[in-house]
Amino acid sequence: MFSGDPSTRPLAVIAVGGNSLIADRSHPEVSHQWDAVRETASHIANMIQAGWRAVITHGNGPQVGFILRRNELAMHEVHTTPVDLIVADTQGSIGYMLQQTLNNEFFQRKLPLQCVTIITQVRVEPDDPAFAHPAKPIGGFLDEARARQFERDGWQVVEDAGRGWRRVIASPEPVEIVEEQAIAEAVGAGWIVIAVGGGGIPVTRNRAGELRGIAAVIDKDLATSLLAARIRADLFLISTGVERVALHFGQPNQQDLDQMTGSEALRYLGEGHFAPGSMKPKIEACLRFLAHNPNPDAYALITDPANLERALRGETGTRIVRDR
């Protein structure tokens, strides 16, 4: 099954949500995270065993929140951690979990494959308008006194719907996957690659052309979409918390979608069917993938981990395809 040129097998870029590692919010401990990632890895391994090459990306929202909280609790004892380093930390830790579980799956199935993690930087523009209007909540809820302390330390804070105060940070547009060539070459050589974790470590170039980290959070699905288009993936797969995309989600007239064209997706976006911070950026990422990928047969697919194989067979999930 895996002999010959790896490039003859179709390539999927799979975006795994950070919450996939925390199936039960009441049990966020690392031992439970291992259970969740093993289940997710088994579904991805089934897909790979069926003949797909894969690049896997992942979210990191809950994990970043845990590190920020540890920083808060320990700041009187040790230095705090900049956001770019926190993203790098979570790329390493979550990448390790996915890498180990996938390699264990390959070992048990006697598949001649190996998974590696590439710590990935994603370049943003320093004059991106998002930096003038930070809006991405980060960390836990705060009382006003604590929020004002963070404000004095240079953070921007906002009140969040009467539930308390939160720090907010810029979420600029990804413009370049710095390690793109390394990822593409690894895939071409037959490796299963984990990359662009948490949307990538946000970096900019200074006047000398050198990369430097910056305080920001990049949307994971948009960064994954950029990578998937650049390496001409056949499939951009978003693994999320719902089996299908729906119109009128959560309402009595909810309508699950098996497939939509790019123009239909744009119309549904304009009609406000997809919530910001939830399904909207996922749909936007799929549309960007189709718009910028020169592969004429490429398509996007949204489903949950448990239904991944069924979705690939066309039995469930929501496909987003080009207009013909």
Check whether 146 has a pLDDT greater than 80: yes
Mean pLDDT of the chain: 91
State residue 3's pLDDT score: 58
The Cβ-side half-sphere exposure at 318, using a 13 Å CA radius, reads 25
Q: Which of 30-34, 103-107, 128-132, 144-148 has the lowest mean pLDDT?
A: 30-34
Instruction: Tell me which of 17, 18, 197, 199 is the catalytic residue.
Output: 18
Residue 289 CA to residue 286 CA, distance in Å, equals 5
Those residues whose C-beta lies under 8 Å from the C-beta of residue 148, and which sit 6 or more positions away, are 157
Burial (CB < 10 A; 0-12, 13-18, 19+), residue 174, is buried
Q: Is residue 280 annotated as part of the catalytic site, yes or no?
A: no
How far apart, in Å, are the Cα atoms of 160 and each of 60, 67, 71, 166, 193? Answer: 21, 21, 21, 7, 37
Mean pLDDT of 287-295: 95
Instruction: Tell me which of 60, 103, 197, 220 is the catalytic residue.
Output: 220
Tens of pLDDT, residues 201-247 = 999 999 999 999 999 999 999 999 999 999 999 999 999 989 999 99
Q: Is residue 110 annotated as part of the catalytic site, yes or no?
A: no
- 8 Å CB contact between 5 and 53: no
Residue 32 CA to residue 38 CA, distance in Å, equals 10
Instruction: Tell me which of 17, 197, 200, 282 is the catalytic residue.
Output: 282
Q: Is residue 140 annotated as part of the catalytic site, yes or no?
A: no
Instruction: Tell me which of 103, 136, 197, 200 is the catalytic residue.
Output: 136
Q: Is residue 104 annotated as part of the catalytic site, yes or no?
A: no
Q: Indicate the CATH number for domain 10-124+179-321.
A: 3.40.1160.10
Tens of pLDDT, residues 297-320 = 999 999 998 899 999 999 999 999
Q: Which of 139-148, 174-183, 206-215, 254-263 has the lowest mean pLDDT?
A: 139-148
Amino acid at 187: V
Residue 122 CA to residue 216 CA, distance in Å, equals 11
